[in-house]
Amino acid sequence: MLWEHLDWVQFPAARHFMNKISLHILRTGLAITFIWIGILIFRNPEAWGGYISPWALELIPIPIREAMIGTALLDMAIGIFLLFNSFVWIAALLGTLHLIIVLITSGINDVTIRDIGLLGAIVALFIDSLPASIGDKIKSWRNRKTI
């Protein structure tokens, strides 16, 4: 393959370009996934509520239909922000928290196992899309010396 023979040290701009292309592909793929799942949940909220564990259902203070419609709207909003490349780090943070909640409340099974891959992808996007000011604060916090 062509990429194997290139010396990335001599072509740092090419390396940066390839990294950004891969992030745009990741962001777009996640956007489509979140929008699509939101549409599917919105079309049949009761069926999707069946994936929630019984113990978690008892914690939801509203009817499952309304809770799942709210979930559908959240998924679609995350997807739209990712698709339009707006507030990506906030959308990725919300997506991360949402997928963690899905995994906790649904458990790991044949259906939710793919959510682990989605979680890894959205966390990677979150880390890459953090504003420089927040990233610098995190780096300085990690590098501080303890007394």
Can you give the pLDDT at residue 8?
47
Does residue 141 lie within any of the structural domains?
no
User: Does 9 fall in a domain?
Assistant: no
Q: Domain span at residue 101?
A: 19-132
Decide: 101 and 142 in contact? Cβ < 8 Å: no
In a domain, 11, yes or no: no
3-state secondary structure 69-93: HHHHHHHHHHHHHHHCCCCHHHHHH
* Full pLDDT tens readout for the chain, 147 residues: 444 554 544 555 555 555 688 999 999 999 999 999 999 999 999 999 999 999 999 999 999 999 999 999 999 999 999 999 999 999 999 999 999 999 999 988 887 889 999 999 999 999 999 988 876 667 777 777 655
103 and 119 Cβ atoms separated by less than 8 Å: yes
As a whole number of angstroms, the distance between CA 63 and CA 130 comes to: 36
**Longest alpha-carbon distance in the chain:** 59
Residue 86 resides in a domain: yes
- Total domain count for the chain? 1
Does 43 reside within a domain? Answer: yes
Residue 142 within any structural domain of the chain: no
Please report whether residue 7 resides in a domain.
no
In a domain, 49, yes or no: yes
